[in-house]
Amino acid sequence: MEVNAQVMQALLSTAALLLLVISMRATQLLPAGRESDKIVEVELPERSLAMLPPESETKRIAITFYTAPAPFDGAEGMRQKLAIHSWLHLDLRPDVVLMGRHPSLKTFAETLQPYVTVDSDIDITFMGNPMFHSMIGRVQASSSEIVVLIDPNLVLLNDFTAAITKVRAVDSNWLLVVKPIHTTIFPFELQGSSGSWLHSDGLYVEPDEVRKIVRQKGSSGDCYGPGLWAWNKADAQLHAGVIPPFVYGSGHHSEWLLTEALVSKYRTVIDGSDVITLVAPQHVASRIYNGDGALGRPWDVAGNRVLAMQYGSLYYRPADLSNVTVKLIKCGEKLRRGLCLYNRTDLLEACKPHNRKLRLAQKVDPQASRDWFKFSQWFGRSSSDRGVQALDCKTIASLTNEYVRCPRLTKKSIKVSELWLPFSLEALASRVASPDKVIILSVAGDSYRTMLMSWVCSLRRLNISNYLVYALDDELYQHAVSQGVPVVKSSQTMRVSRDDCHFGTKCFQEVTKMKSRTVLHLLQLGFKVLFSDVDVYWFQNPIQEMMAYGPGTLVAQTDQYNETEAANLPRRLNSGFYFAWSDRATVAAFVKIVKHAMTSNMSEQPSFYDTMCGLDGVYRVGDDKCVEPDTNVTAIFLDRRTYPNGASGNHWEQRDVRKSCEQQGCRVLHNNWVSGRERKLKRQIAAGLWDYDETTRMCVTHRKKVQS
Ligand SMILES: *[C@@H]1O[C@H](CO)[C@@H](O)[C@H](O)[C@H]1NC(C)=O
Ligand SMILES: *[C@@H]1O[C@H](CO)[C@@H](O)[C@H](O)[C@H]1NC(C)=O
Ligand SMILES: *[C@@H]1O[C@H](CO)[C@@H](O)[C@H](O)[C@H]1NC(C)=O
Ligand SMILES: *[C@@H]1O[C@H](CO)[C@@H](O)[C@H](O)[C@H]1NC(C)=O
Ligand SMILES: *[C@@H]1O[C@H](CO)[C@@H](O)[C@H](O)[C@H]1NC(C)=O
Ligand SMILES: *[C@@H]1O[C@H](CO)[C@@H](O)[C@H](O)[C@H]1NC(C)=O
């Protein structure tokens, strides 16, 4: 509430702020307007204070900042708050969107409504890290005229406003990048109401002073990608191709994006680092540009590296800011200071010895040619132009060399390795399990890759995070790791040769029996398990309902296809969707099922029924239960109306499968009773019971869903 009030006050004291802005800009006039669409241009307009763009004009720029903060606690939380407040105090008055799912984001945003909102519609890894491709996807979905992607730790000073106004006048598709300045100390605080900077010695400091101190004391000799990206929402893409699913903050994604943007040439990439003060206070290890992935977990860093190498052009030509040739700089004489864009390559060309004559000729007749007219401004037209900040070739050369040569990724420096997670089944289960020790488990091989991802996305949509995946082959394992899915593989499974392990073979039966064996393993570790095949589409979270029967029960879907017949008739237990408790009796019953399956020459499904209900159903009780006599564990067959298999309810034959099932109160719908993987896949996609976009490798968001 307090912060909210402060911001309101800040926004209300517009007049005071404007005065401050004017005084601040007395020496740095805003070149406004759209008079030029060329990159090489010099702006020395006859402007006076009176010609400053009025407040309303500045405000009209719809600009939205996107950032993916860490949870708001501790020192990092404080830093993020300072950074976000510095953005909110820009004259541009941006909207700020926090991307992420941690509850502290909502709590923080609530104090700053309506300027700060939360977008939780992004893909995160099971460790809670946002995924970069999904972040960019959310930013691209923005309707704002200008969007900014910024590291949550970086303080931004108000020189950003002039820069963005200038760049906005470039009538083209542009992408502005800024590298941060690191300072070991940043002894300033924002005073809420006025947005003034308060030094820790208790004195207010002019923004220009803050900028000066930062630029003097700070260093920007770091490599790697930008800490801030801004672009106009024109029709052009940022780059060709598709961003691989990088883990945000684990390195390589920023260099990758910069490289692709430069190589694709869809937009003019502009380096604004000289005129935009972006500060990394204290020893912030920043997420967005940490090329070495210093913040990331080792396996995420390795994963990002593999993805960076495998997709796009980074493999051949990794870029950093020294590759960005168009720069935004200050220019013009003292009282007419403005911002100019210049193309370093152009100027370097003009500086070559054989062009010296041209330059001299130019000094004599500045109007000789349009291009050279522009050029001449850089070198000073006449001796009367003393005030002009003339750039001579020496200065240009030094500007070009200012970037230290960064260590680059090369084919040699990177041994392309595999994607991996360092967790055993037990470690992973402990990590993802809900507080009441429930695990949702699925088992899949690579031929069901997209269906698995759709299943994962539907769990994410339902805000369910206590799931894990058991990979039957290495391809699926790698894919799942790259998508932030909690996944394990067993060395045993991996020995299985793929070619001779297809449906119906002995090998296949052994592999599918991994399902019950993995469930048993988890039960023995003390976890309750909801097993779900990937072809079970989830409409609602069924866990509470399935747990309501209590320990000593095995609650399963029936595979009965005949609506009028009992759910528990022989071999009608579907082992593709069930809940098992970890009490002693249930574990004992499960041991029997697994033993039965191991000696059977069939798939594991009949072993469930034959163990729990007896051969020919001798242990049946009523028409929806069986009691296994040795353990007294009760098998409970779920209601077919709310847990339909692929044959019950005729849902799959309906025009609107979703509606048909939802009207009947479906918790889940099994896409079985269809032969062939292809047909299964087709009908589920056709029915729209699909939450994954294979092209972008992202979960389909709610918003897109509503539109379609
Ligand atoms: C970036 O610059 C380096 C060194 O000049 C060069 O080797 C590399 O190809 C450039 N990358 C791009 C994408 O332009
Ligand atoms: C910069 O100048 C060089 C040389 O004239 C040109 O090839 C390049 O396309 C220019 N870059 C941009 C972004 O205009
Ligand atoms: C999602 O689940 C978490 C805990 O698992 C909870 O804190 C959060 O509020 C939930 N979010 C929504 C939108 O339901
Ligand atoms: C369902 O079972 C009833 C009797 O139990 C039988 O008459 C009917 O033909 C069966 N329907 C199908 C589709 O098998
Ligand atoms: C499985 O074994 C049974 C005997 O235990 C036999 O009758 C049946 O033909 C076998 N099926 C297959 C597919 O091998
Ligand atoms: C199973 O239940 C029956 C009857 O309630 C009881 O006699 C028997 O001891 C129970 N067996 C076990 C293993 O609990």
Say what the pLDDT of residue 531 is: 98
Residues 316 and 388 in one domain: no
| Ligand 3 centroid, distance to 119 Cα (angstroms) | 14
Q: Which residues lie with the beta carbon below 6 Å from any ligand 3 atom? A: 103, 463, 465
pLDDT class of 379 with cuts at 50, 70, 90: very low
**Mutate-to-test residue for ligand 2 from 263, 346, 349, 374, highest number of ligand atoms within 8 A of CB:** 346
21 within a domain of the structure (yes/no): no
Residues 43 and 71 in one domain: no
Residues 565 and 522 in one domain: yes
pLDDT tens, 381-418?
333 333 333 456 666 666 655 554 555 555 555 566 78
570 within a domain of the structure (yes/no): yes
pLDDT at 128 exceeding the cut of 60: yes
Q: Does an H or E element contain 289, and which?
A: none
CATH number for position 172? 3.90.550
Contact indicator for 451, 681 with CB cutoff of 8 Å: yes
pLDDT class of 492 with cuts at 50, 70, 90: low
Which conformational region is residue 411 in: left (phi greater than 0), alpha (psi within -120 to 50 degrees), or beta? alpha
Say what the pLDDT of residue 372 is: 32
Please provide the average confidence, as pLDDT, over all residues in the chain.
81
Residues 380 and 433 in one domain: no
* 475-502 average pLDDT score: 76
pLDDT at 214 exceeding the cut of 50: yes
Residues 636, 621: Cα–Cα separation, whole Å: 10
Residues 369 and 429 in one domain: no
Domain boundary among 259, 294, 323: 323
The closest residue, in CA terms, to atom 7 on ligand 4 is 564
| Ligand 4 centroid, distance to 564 Cα (angstroms) | 7
Say what the pLDDT of residue 271 is: 92
Q: Which one of the ligands is nearest to 327 CA?
A: 2
pLDDT at 348 exceeding the cut of 80: no
pLDDT at 42 exceeding the cut of 50: no
Contact indicator for 588, 523 with CB cutoff of 8 Å: no
| Ligand 3 centroid, distance to 465 Cα (angstroms) | 9
pLDDT at 225 exceeding the cut of 50: yes
Maximum mean pLDDT: which of 24-33, 168-177, 412-421: 168-177
262 within a domain of the structure (yes/no): yes
Residues 295 and 394 in one domain: no
Residues 648 and 637 in one domain: yes
pLDDT at 106 exceeding the cut of 60: yes
| Ligand 3 centroid, distance to 463 Cα (angstroms) | 6
pLDDT at 73 exceeding the cut of 60: yes
**How many other CB atoms sit within 10 Å of the CB of residue 114?**
7
Q: Which one of the ligands is nearest to 321 CA?
A: 1
Residues 177, 199: Cα–Cα separation, whole Å: 29
pLDDT at 610 exceeding the cut of 60: yes
Say what the pLDDT of residue 123 is: 95
Q: Which one of the ligands is nearest to 170 CA?
A: 2
Residues 386 and 459 in one domain: no
The closest residue, in CA terms, to atom 12 on ligand 3 is 463
Say what the pLDDT of residue 502 is: 59
Contact indicator for 469, 490 with CB cutoff of 8 Å: no
CATH number for position 559? 3.90.550.10
Q: Of 10-19, 186-195, 465-474, 635-644, which gets the smallest average pLDDT? A: 10-19
* 441-465 average pLDDT score: 95
The count of domains in the chain is 3
Say what the pLDDT of residue 537 is: 98
Domain boundary among 415, 450, 467: 415
Residues 433, 437: Cα–Cα separation, whole Å: 5
* 567-585 average pLDDT score: 97
706 within a domain of the structure (yes/no): no
pLDDT at 533 exceeding the cut of 60: yes
Say what the pLDDT of residue 191 is: 81
Q: Which one of the ligands is nearest to 552 CA?
A: 6
Residues 381 and 443 in one domain: no
Residues 177 and 256 in one domain: yes
Q: Which residues lie with the beta carbon below 6 Å from any ligand 2 atom? A: 39, 268, 325-326, 343, 345-346, 349
pLDDT tens, 687-701?
999 999 999 999 997
Token pair belonging to 566: 């009992």
**Mutate-to-test residue for ligand 1 from 258, 259, 317, highest number of ligand atoms within 8 A of CB:** 317
Say what the pLDDT of residue 27 is: 29
The closest residue, in CA terms, to atom 1 on ligand 4 is 562
Q: Which one of the ligands is nearest to 432 CA?
A: 3
Maximum mean pLDDT: which of 8-17, 353-362, 483-492, 493-502: 483-492
Q: Which residues lie with the beta carbon below 6 Å from any ligand 6 atom? A: 631-632
Q: Of 327-336, 669-678, 681-690, 694-703, which gets the smallest average pLDDT? A: 327-336
Any atom of ligand 4 within 6 Å of the Cβ of 563: no
Say what the pLDDT of residue 395 is: 62
Say what the pLDDT of residue 403 is: 52
| Ligand 2 centroid, distance to 344 Cα (angstroms) | 8
| Ligand 4 centroid, distance to 54 Cα (angstroms) | 80
How much of the chain, in percent, has pLDDT values that exceed 90? 53
Whether this prediction's pTM lies above 0.95 is answered by no
Helices 425-432 and 514-524 cross at an angle (nearest 10°) of 70
pLDDT at 623 exceeding the cut of 70: yes
* 456-478 average pLDDT score: 94
28 within a domain of the structure (yes/no): no
* 230-249 average pLDDT score: 92
Q: Which one of the ligands is nearest to 462 CA?
A: 3
* 366-382 average pLDDT score: 38
- Exposure string over 124-162, b if 16+ CB within 10 A, otherwise e: bbbeebbbbbbbbbbbeebebebbbbbbbbbbbbbbbbb
Contact indicator for 342, 335 with CB cutoff of 8 Å: no
Say what the pLDDT of residue 351 is: 72
pLDDT tens, 624-649?
999 999 999 999 999 999 999 999 99
Say what the pLDDT of residue 675 is: 84
The closest residue, in CA terms, to atom 9 on ligand 1 is 317
pLDDT at 189 exceeding the cut of 60: yes
Say what the pLDDT of residue 202 is: 87
Domain that holds residue 132: 51-323
26 within a domain of the structure (yes/no): no
**Mutate-to-test residue for ligand 3 from 460, 463, 540, 543, highest number of ligand atoms within 8 A of CB:** 463
328 within a domain of the structure (yes/no): no
380 within a domain of the structure (yes/no): yes
CA–centroid distance for 5 within its chain = 32
Say what the pLDDT of residue 412 is: 56
pLDDT at 78 exceeding the cut of 60: yes
* Higher-scoring residue by pLDDT: 488, 251: 488
**Which burial class, exposed, middle or buried, applies to 346 when counting CB atoms under 10 A from its CB (0-12, 13-18, 19+)?**
middle
Domain boundary among 385, 415, 445: 415
| Ligand 5 centroid, distance to 601 Cα (angstroms) | 6
Say what the pLDDT of residue 436 is: 97
The closest residue, in CA terms, to atom 1 on ligand 6 is 632
Contacts of 456 (CB under 8 A, 6+ apart): 467, 469, 483, 485, 692, 699
Please write down the HEC assignment for all residues of 405-469. Answer: CCCCCCCCCCCCCCCCCCCCHHHHHHHHCCCCCEEEEEEECHHHHHHHHHHHHHHHHCCCCCEEE
* Higher-scoring residue by pLDDT: 130, 318: 130
Residues 463 and 595 in one domain: yes
pLDDT class of 289 with cuts at 50, 70, 90: very low
Maximum mean pLDDT: which of 31-45, 386-400, 605-619: 605-619
pLDDT class of 541 with cuts at 50, 70, 90: very high
Residues 333, 387: Cα–Cα separation, whole Å: 5
pLDDT at 118 exceeding the cut of 70: yes
Residues 409 and 473 in one domain: no
Residue closest to 111 by CA, chosen among 121, 96, 122 = 96
Peptide bond before 366: cis, by omega within 30 degrees of 0?
A: no
